[in-house]
Amino acid sequence: MEPPSALSRGGRVPWQELLLAVSLLTFWNPPTTAQVTVESVPPNAAEGKDVLLRVHNLPANLIGFGWFKGTTIDPHREIVSYAADLQEITPGFAHSGRETLYHNGSLLFQNISLEDTGYYTLQIIKRNVQVERLTGQLRVYQPVSQPSINISNTTATEHKDSVVLTCSTNNTGVSIWWFFNNQSLKLTERMKLSPDNSTLTIDPVRREDAGDYQCEVSNPVSSSKSDLVKLNVEYDFTQQSSGLSAGAIAGIVIGVLAGVALIAALLYFLCNRKSGGTSDLRDLTEHKLSASNHSQDHSDNVHNKTDEVAYSSLNFNVQAPKKSASASPPLTATETVYSEVQKK
C-alpha cells in the first residue's frame, strides 16, 4: 500500500484512502482529558437558601477526594471526604451538619448563612498518586430590609431654597438608587449625590423638581424601595426666572412707564386740538349769522327810511296844492297821492 500522502496515478487520491488516513491520524492522537472545574449554583446566594458547589468533569479511577474550608489543606478544616474503594463518605472537623456530598464530587450547603461566605478547596487523589486541587467560592448575602427616606423640607421656594434627601438603611454592601415619579431619577446640574449615593441634594429647586421621590437599596440577591415623599415647590414672584438683573428689570419698568406717559400726552394733545377746532367753527358760524342778521336789519332800516322819506316827500307835496283855474272844487291831493303810492 502506498503511503497516505502519496498521490494515485491519475493525480487524485481516492476517497477511501483519504478517509483511512484521517482515521489512522485520529486513532494515534492521544485522548485529551477534560478540565475539572467548580462553580457555585447560584453564583450569589441569599441567606437561608441552599447553594451547590458543582464539580464538572470529575476524573474516574480515583482513590478519593475531600472538601476543605479555605484555600489550604488542613485536617482541622476538612468538611467531608470520600473513599472510592470503600464508597464511604466521612464527615470532617469542619462539618456543620448542613453539608451533603455527592459521588460526582459536588457539595451542597443547606440553609446557608453569612458565615459560609468564602473559598472552599476540593482535593482529588488519583490512582497514580497525583493530587489535583481546585477552589470554589460561595457568595452569601443577607436580604435587604426596606429603607427609609428623609427630606429636609417638603415645601421649598423656587430659585431660593435647597432640599436634601437622605436614604437610610441597616444593610451593608448595598447599592442605592433614586427614583422620581416612579422613574429612575435623571440627574441635572443642580443635583448632587454623596459618594455612597445615600444623600441627594437639589440646589436650588425649580418647579420641575416638584413630585414624588423614592430610594431603593439592593444587593445581588434582593432589593427594596422606601416609601414615597412628596416635594412641593412654590413660585417666588420676587425672583425672575428669566435671570435678568435688577438694573435690567428697572430699565424695562422705566421704559414701559415712559411709553405709557408719551401715549397719554399724545392722546391729550389730539383731544384738545379737536375741541379747539370745533369751538372756532362754532364762533365763525355765529359771526356769520350775526353779520347776516345785521345786514338784514340794516336793509330793513334803509327800506323803512326810504318809505319815510317817500312819505315825507309825499306829505310835503301834499301841503303845497296847486290852484286850478276851474271853478269846481279841487280834489283832495292827499288821498290821490297816497292811492298812487299804495299801487306801487
| Per-residue tens of pLDDT for the chain, all 344 residues | 433 333 333 344 343 343 334 333 434 444 456 899 999 999 999 999 999 999 999 998 899 999 999 999 999 999 999 999 999 999 999 999 999 999 999 999 999 999 999 999 999 999 888 899 999 999 999 999 999 999 999 999 999 999 999 999 999 989 999 999 999 999 999 999 999 999 999 999 999 999 999 999 999 999 999 999 999 999 877 655 455 666 777 778 888 888 888 898 888 888 877 666 555 555 545 555 555 555 555 445 444 444 444 444 444 444 444 444 444 444 444 444 444 444 44
CA-nearest of 137, 149, 114 to 219 is 114
pLDDT given for residue 304 in this prediction: 46
Cα dist from 35 to 59, 105, 316, whole Å: 9, 14, 173
Please list, in sequence order, all residues whose beta carbon lies within 8 angstroms of the beta carbon of residue 214, skipping any fewer than 6 positions away. 149, 178, 179, 180, 182, 225, 226, 227, 228, 229
Residue type, 118: G
pLDDT given for residue 331 in this prediction: 45
The residue ranges of every structural domain in the chain are 37-141, 148-234
Which architecture, in CATH terms, is 148-234?
A: Sandwich (2.60)
Q: What is the per-residue burial (b if ≥16 Cβ within 10 Å, else e) of 93-114?
A: ebbeeebebeeebbbbbeebee
pLDDT given for residue 320 in this prediction: 42
- CA 62/CA 83 separation, integer angstroms: 9
Grid cell of 334 as nine digits: 292827499
- CA 85/CA 63 separation, integer angstroms: 7
pTM over 0.85: no
> Taking a C-beta distance cutoff of 8 angstroms, is the pair 63, 85 a contact?
yes
> Taking a C-beta distance cutoff of 8 angstroms, is the pair 61, 70 a contact?
no
pLDDT given for residue 307 in this prediction: 44
* Residue carrying the nine cell digits 441597616: 170
The CATH homologous superfamily for domain 37-141 is: Immunoglobulins (2.60.40.10)
Same fold, 37-141 and 148-234: yes
Q: Is the peptide bond before 204 cis (omega within 30 degrees of 0)?
A: yes
pLDDT given for residue 128 in this prediction: 87
- CA 252/CA 258 separation, integer angstroms: 10
- Per-residue 3-state assignment (H helix, E strand, C coil) for the chain: CCCCCCCCCCCCCCHHHHHHHHHHHHHHCCCCCCCCEEEEECCCEECCCCEEEEEECCCCCEEEEEEEECCCCCHHHEEEEEECCCCEEEECCCCCCCEEECCCCCEEECCCCHHHCEEEEEEEEECCCCEEEEEEEECEECCCCCCEEEECCCEEECCCCCEEEEEECCCCCCEEEEEECCEECCCCCCEEECCCCCEEEECCCCHHHCEEEEEEEEECCEEEECCCEEEEEECCCCCCCCCCCHHHHHHHHHHHHHHHHHHHHHHHHHHHHHHHHHHHHHHHHHHHHHHHHHHHHHHHHHHHHHHHHHHHHHHHHHCCCCCCCCCCCCCCHHHHHHHHHHHC
- CA 13/CA 110 separation, integer angstroms: 63
